[in-house]
Structure 1
Amino acid sequence: MEVALPDPGVLSSRLGAVSTKKLTATASAVLGPDGTPLLVRDRAMVPASTMKLFTALAAVDVLGADRRFTTKVVSARKGRLTLVAGGDPFLTVHKSKSSAKPANLDALVRATARSLKAQQVKRVTLTYDARLFSGASYSASWKKSWASYTPRIMALTVSGGKSGGRAYTNPAASTTRLFASLLRAKGFTVNYGGAAKAAKGATLVASVSSAPVGSIVRRMLRVSDNVAAEMLARHVARAVGRPGSFSGGSAAITDWLKGHRLWKKGMKIDGGSGLSSLTKVYPSVLARAVGFALADPAFVDVVKGLPTAGVNGTLEHRFDDAVEKAGRVVVHAKTGTLRKVSALAGYVTTADGAVLTFAFLATHNGTHSAAAANWLDRSAAVLAGCGCQLARPAS
């Protein structure tokens, strides 16, 4: 049975009735199941974390959903160890309950200790090699005021690059020092040697591997993990022959979007997470990107990673009043929030059973994030509860 799509005129009228008071600018796009535009009020705007949709698509396509990242300990000679970065964004210190975080330093230390004991080695010098990624670890386009709590992006990082609420100034060094302390707790004498290039032909001592990219993407989208997004962008860059840096990741994602016709003149990509206010995208392209994921089973992890309204992730506590109730459970979307920016992009099943993709972007003066969230949620709720058909004249 053919599902009726909303009438564009009725849809426009109902969305137009949602208050934009206290907002300085808005842009919208609503597309039908085949990408047919139902409503497009396009404008290139800062997408905030809805940018992660592009990063997720490129990562799954370029790297493959089954790809894993391995953190290793190698040894070139007896008593010398090097911790080699694999670019795992979810490496933890201790075992995690999350299936997206299987790799941890405890396991790596236990395996290393067994190897050292077998060689009757009790004293080691420990260095690290984090050259997998290059360039600055903190983007020039990120606000300096964020520096104390926003993690640096390095290929060797643990606990999301933070200790408590503070960001490590050098995640690779901090991770290696944690590894050293755990190894000392096993009874070894460890001399910390800082950064050093792993020798060619060094013997593998121990290793731990990340969850598959598909699982990383799901968690990255669900909780809006900036570190995972930026690290995935670097992996994509390296896979296509670009440097594993902020600029390399930006260029690689730009190329991927252009290559898949998810581009429009006036767009700019700056980083993979959406933290940069230099990134500019159109809501119509975001909505098309969601449709792109829905149309291809290869991108199931992107679709499944989208938070569900009122249920989980960054939408768990949204759609929280009577006006927005229609959107609960049936809206699946990526959120985006910066100080003056709010965004929502995803898909919804309407009351008539039609699956629509959408993107709503808004800006405000920095003090009206609640008003912006209400506009986003109420607009998506309109779609959810909307048959939006033209009234038929009485016979």
Structure 2
Amino acid sequence: MTSAAPVARVGGLTALAGALLAGSLSVGPTTGSAAELAGSGSDRAGAAVLGGLDSAAPIPQPAAVAARLAGPLGDPVLARPAAFVIDAQSGRVLLDVRSRIPVAPASTLKTAVATAALTTFPDDRLRTTVVYSPPAGGNARTSGGTLWLVGGGDPTLTASTAPGGYPALARLSDLAAQVRAAGITSAARVIGDGGLFVGPDRAPGWRDNYVTDGDVAPVSALEVDAGRSAPEAVGPRSPTPAAAATTAFAAALMTAGVSVGSVATGPADPAAQRVAAVYSPPVRVLVERMLTQSDNDLAESLGRLVAHRRGLPASFTGATRAVRDVLAEAGLPVAGMALADVSGLSIANLIMPMTLVAILRAAVLPGRPALRTILTGLPVAGFSGTLGDRYTTGDTAIGAGDVRAKTGTLHNVSSLAGQLVDADGRLLLFAFLSPAEEAGSTKAALDRAAAALTGCGCTPARSTTVAIPPAASRPPAASRPPT
């Protein structure tokens, strides 16, 4: 590798980030097998070159890519992973290892629900409301009566009263202040309604410890701080998030000067009058947060809301069908897709590695600007989200700041799907999915594969030598929760 390669790569990344923020991201026309990856429609023809990258940079040669990744992907800890790598601009397939065989994706599946949400309602805000029924013979300014807290599927609704912060989340304290401003000084009953979502609150294939370990709350349309005991708390989630949210709202009401009698959960009276409402950040901001932090509660809520918008039940069954249908309508490959949830927590989920890369390419192509949030939401190696503490060792550091990828980790799955700029300045898209037992060493091995790809000047005229230490010399990494 020449000494100028790192400078070219960083420059390309900087320009790519600028293009994403400016909304000018586009690529040239597809070739070869790229049409299957890009989806249907005419949005590919005659498009400009990807802003900030050199369209004349040499495309990696498949044989060279295969040779470069043979060692990292051949690491026994990965247990024969599936792998798929393409050149983003041309769509040329650079590596294909069982890409058409559906496998368990873990949280890389979140790119699918992100696509569905951004296609369906990218600028919508999720509304949480309070409705009121006065006591018999009274009115809205009479003490007593019943207040219902009606969930709109926003798990980021928070009990925090701290000022500022990004994004600006919906707050229980604001709801309580609006109730008091409406002239209500007491409520005989406060009832929480999470009935927008239906069906089981846990999916087939979810492990019993997911809730107690704090990986996800039972799915509900009414949650506060995603079922956590306090904002940003860690540890177990509430097994009854709607009840916990209602109790937290009652506390906010009392702080606002509204006395409260009993607290319960149940359906709101359709004739009750709305007296307060708060709104989440736009869905595109929630999607970005979901991808960066691998937020399971947001993923499941967004999937149900897509289903609801499409006239399907707001359940696991409706969400999985809705997500698959949106992908199919976009012309993305969905053969063999079988989903039990949309967060990727279920070991019963199956998807082709090719589909994950096709989703990423749809976000790069012109004509679907809303999908660019998928790219900006991907964790950055060594800097943010679920990749923030990775790519710090000598054999992976070359990928820090370059690799942007969605992680996936379950008991029997470790995966990584994302994008990077190689040593020649080509934007590459990849998916690596390992069926190995969850371990820090498995994630480290995937990171070595992506790091090797970032250093790839994989053309006949380029040296592609980057030292990758043998497995015995690599330090182990600590095991992490599902991501």
Using the size of structure 1 for normalisation, the TM-score is 0.93
Instruction: Give the equivalent residue in structure 1 for 2:324.
Output: 254
Whether the 8 Å CA contact 1:363–1:372 is kept in 2: the answer is no
Cα distance in 2 for partners of 1:386, 1:166 equals 43
Query: How far apart are residue 219 of structure 1 and its match?
Result: 0.4
Whether the 8 Å CA contact 2:380–2:403 is kept in 1: the answer is yes
Structure 2 residue aligned with 1:299, among 344, 351, 371? 371
Instruction: Give the equivalent residue in structure 2 for 1:374.
Output: 444
Whether the 8 Å CA contact 2:189–2:262 is kept in 1: the answer is yes
Residue type matched to 1:127 in 2?
I
Structure 1 residue aligned with 2:383, among 306, 311, 336? 311
Structure 1 residue aligned with 2:179, among 100, 108, 112? 112
Whether the 8 Å CA contact 1:91–1:101 is kept in 2: the answer is no
1:75-94 maps to which residues of 2 (within 5 A)?
75-77=132-134, 78=139, 79-94=145-160
Instruction: Give the equivalent residue in structure 1 for 2:109.
Output: 51
Which range is displaced more, 74-83 or 298-307? 74-83
Cα distance in 2 for partners of 1:140, 1:288 equals 26
Residue type matched to 1:145 in 2?
N
Cα distance in 1 for partners of 2:416, 2:199 equals 31
Whether the 8 Å CA contact 1:95–1:102 is kept in 2: the answer is no
Whether the 8 Å CA contact 1:100–1:219 is kept in 2: the answer is no
Query: How far apart are residue 166 of structure 1 and its match?
Result: 1.8
Corresponding residue SS for 1:22: helix
Cα distance in 1 for partners of 2:295, 2:277 equals 24
Corresponding residue SS for 1:194: strand
Q: Deviations over 1:240-273 (max 9, x none)?
A: 1110011110111111122223224322122110
Instruction: Give the equivalent residue in structure 2 for 1:67.
Output: 124
Corresponding residue SS for 1:364: coil
Residue type matched to 2:173 in 1?
D
1:151 partnered with 2:217: yes
Instruction: Give the equivalent residue in structure 1 for 2:37.
Output: none
Whether the 8 Å CA contact 1:91–1:157 is kept in 2: the answer is yes
Corresponding residue SS for 1:301: helix
Task: Give ranges in structure 1 of 5+ residues lacking alignment.
Answer: none
Residue type matched to 1:134 in 2?
V
Cα distance in 2 for partners of 1:193, 1:17 equals 60
1:12 partnered with 2:93: no
Corresponding residue SS for 1:172: helix
Corresponding residue SS for 1:4: coil
Residue type matched to 1:38 in 2?
L
Structure 2 residue aligned with 1:209, among 279, 301, 308? 279
1:23 partnered with 2:89: no
Query: How far apart are residue 380 of structure 1 and its match?
Result: 1.1
Structure 2 residue aligned with 1:40, among 78, 83, 96? 96
Query: How far apart are residue 391 of structure 1 and its match?
Result: 4.2
Whether the 8 Å CA contact 2:190–2:261 is kept in 1: the answer is yes
Instruction: Give the equivalent residue in structure 1 for 2:200.
Output: 136
Cα distance in 1 for partners of 2:401, 2:289 equals 18
Identity %: 36
Instruction: Give the equivalent residue in structure 1 for 2:476.
Output: none
Query: How far apart are residue 300 of structure 1 and its match?
Result: 2.0
Instruction: Give the equivalent residue in structure 2 for 1:343.
Output: 415
Q: Deviations over 1:295-351 (max 9, x none)?
A: 132212111100111111111111111221221111111011112211110111111
Residue type matched to 1:128 in 2?
G
Which range is displaced more, 374-383 or 330-339? 374-383
Whether the 8 Å CA contact 1:262–1:285 is kept in 2: the answer is yes
Using the size of structure 2 for normalisation, the TM-score is 0.77
Q: Deviations over 1:124-144 (max 9, x none)?
A: 321122211111112232112
- Number of equivalenced pairs: 386
Q: What is the root-mean-square deviation in Å for CA atoms of aligned residues? A: 1.7
Change (3 A) 1:365 1:86: closer
Cα distance in 2 for partners of 1:132, 1:264 equals 28
Residue type matched to 2:394 in 1?
A
Cα distance in 2 for partners of 1:91, 1:339 equals 30
Cα distance in 1 for partners of 2:187, 2:131 equals 15
Residue type matched to 1:106 in 2?
S
